[in-house]
C-alpha cells in the first residue's frame, strides 16, 4: 500500500428515494450518520446508487445533504455518469463546490470507444474540473474495460488520484495495484467486494463493497485487519460478508439485487425499498423473505 490520502472503505451508497421518486433527504442523513459511526465513506450515485437514474437536481441535493450530514467526519465521493461531456463537467464542478471531496467518473457508454478515446475522455475531464478525479472501471454496466496501459498513462495526470476497478479479473487487479504501488498520488480501490481482503493483501489502498450499506463496520474491521497483516481475521470477515451478500444478490439481476439491498437496509430503519425507474420493487413475498434473513443476522 502507498501513502495516498485516499484509502480505506468507501461504500457505494444506495440512493434512498420516496414512493414518488424524490430523494429521501431524511434517509440520506441517517445513512451518512450510520457510515460515519463506522468510519467508512460513501460513494454517491455509483452503480449501487442508481447513478444513471438520478436527476441533476436530485444529484446536487444528494451531495449537499451528504456533505452537511458528514460534517467533516468522512470523505464524500461523488459519482459522475452520462454521455454529455459539458453536462458532466458542470455537474462535477457543482458537486465540488458543494463540498464533494472526489469525483468518480465512469466512461460514457453510448458509443464503443477506442483506447485513445478513453484516454482523451479522462484526460480532458481531469483538465476541466477543479476537484480531484478518480477513474471508475466497471465492465458490467459500461460494457467497456479501461485497458491497463491507459490507466498507467492516466495515473501520471496531476488531477487523477486513483482507480475504482470493479472488473472481475484477478490478473488485471494485480496489474492495477502495481501501478499504484510506490507512489502517493494514485490509489487503487477494489470494487469487487468478494476480493476485498485479497486486494488489500496485494497492496490495494481501499475497497468499495456494496454490502457495506448493511454492515459497514464489518468491512472497516476487514480493512483494519488486512492492513495490519492479520489476514486470518480479514479472510474470516471476507467469508462472513460474502454470505451476507448472497441474501440480496443470489439468483437476481444487478437491478433486482439493489432493490433487495434496500429491503435489508429497511430492517435497520435506514431507508425504504423504493427505486428509480426503470428499476422496480420486488414482490411482497420476496421482500418478506429477505427481511427475515436480514433480521436473523
What is the tens place of the pLDDT at every residue in 278-288?
999 999 999 99
pTM, to two decimals? 0.96
Mean pLDDT of the chain: 97
* pLDDT > 70 fraction of the chain, expressed in percent and rounded: 99
Residues in the chain: 297
The confidence score (pLDDT) of residue 188 equals 98
The confidence score (pLDDT) of residue 235 equals 98
What is the tens place of the pLDDT at every residue in 16-39?
999 999 999 999 999 999 999 999
The confidence score (pLDDT) of residue 4 equals 83
The confidence score (pLDDT) of residue 182 equals 85
Largest CA distance in the chain: 51
Task: Look at residue 163 and give its three-state secondary structure.
Answer: strand
> Is 90 exceeded by the pLDDT of residue 3?
no
DSSP per residue over 6-20, as a string?
Answer: --EEEEE----B-TT
> Is 90 exceeded by the pLDDT of residue 87?
yes
What is the tens place of the pLDDT at every residue in 118-172?
999 999 999 999 999 999 999 999 999 999 999 999 999 999 999 999 999 999 9
Element at 242 (helix H, strand E): helix 231-249
20-46 b/e with 16+ CB inside 10 Å = b?
eeebbbebbbbbbebbbebbbbbbbbb
Q: Do residues 166 and 140 lie in contact, with contact meaning Cβ atoms separated by under 8 Å?
A: yes
The confidence score (pLDDT) of residue 90 equals 97
Q: Do residues 277 and 255 lie in contact, with contact meaning Cβ atoms separated by under 8 Å?
A: no
The confidence score (pLDDT) of residue 162 equals 98
Residue 122's alpha-carbon distances to 135, 154, 171, 215, 275, in angstroms, are 8, 8, 23, 33, 30
Phi and psi dihedrals of 218, rounded to 5? -65, -40
> Is 90 exceeded by the pLDDT of residue 76?
yes
Residues linked to residue 44 through DSSP beta bridges, in sequence order: 78
Amino acid at each position: 500500500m502507498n501513502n495516498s490520502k485516499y484509502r480505506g472503505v468507501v461504500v457505494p451508497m444506495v440512493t434512498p428515494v420516496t414512493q414518488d421518486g424524490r430523494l429521501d433527504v431524511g434517509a440520506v442523513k441517517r445513512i451518512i450518520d450510520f457510515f460515519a459511526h463506522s468510519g467508512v465513506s460513501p460513494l454517491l450515485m455509483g452503480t449501487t446508487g442508481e447513478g444513471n437514474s438520478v436527476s441533476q437536481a436530485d444529484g446536487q441535493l444528494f451531495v449537499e445533504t451528504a456533505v452537511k450530514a458528514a460534517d467533516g467526519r468522512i470523505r464524500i465521493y461523488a459519482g459522475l455518469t452520462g454521455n454529455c461531456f459539458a453536462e458532466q463537467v458542470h455537474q462535477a464542478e457543482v458537486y465540488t463546490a458543494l463540498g464533494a471531496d472526489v469525483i468518480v467518473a465512469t466512461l460514457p457508454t453510448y458509443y464503443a470507444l477506442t483506447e485513445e478515446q478513453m484516454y482523451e475522455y479522462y484526460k480532458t475531464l481531469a483538465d476541466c474540473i477543479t476537484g480531484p478525479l478518480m477513474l471508475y472501471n466497471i465492465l458490467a454496466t459500461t460494457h467497456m474495460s479501461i485497458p491497463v496501459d491507459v490507466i498507467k498513462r492516466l495515473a501520471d495526470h496531476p488531477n487523477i488520484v486513483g482507480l475504482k476497478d470493479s472488473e472481475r479479473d484477478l490478473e488485471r487487479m494485480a496489474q492495477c495495484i502495481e501501478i499504484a504501488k510506490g507512489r502517493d498520488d494514485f490509489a487503487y480501490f477494489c470494487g469487487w467486494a468478494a476480493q476485498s481482503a485479497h486486494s488489500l493483501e496485494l497492496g490495494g489502498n481501499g475497497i468499495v463493497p456494496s454490502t457495506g450499506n448493511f454492515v459497514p463496520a464489518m468491512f472497516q474491521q476487514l480493512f483494519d485487519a488486512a492492513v495490519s497483516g492479520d489476514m486470518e481475521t480479514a479472510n474470516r470477515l471476507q467469508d462472513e460478508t460474502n454470505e451476507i451478500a448472497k441474501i440480496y444478490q443470489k439468483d437476481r439481476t444487478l437491478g433486482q439485487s439493489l432493490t433487495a439491498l434496500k429491503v435489508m437496509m429497511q430492517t435497520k430503519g435506514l431507508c425504504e425499498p423504493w427505486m428509480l425507474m426503470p428499476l422496480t420493487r420486488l414482490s411482497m413475498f420476496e421482500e418478506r423473505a429477505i427481511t427475515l434473513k436480514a433480521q436473523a443476522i
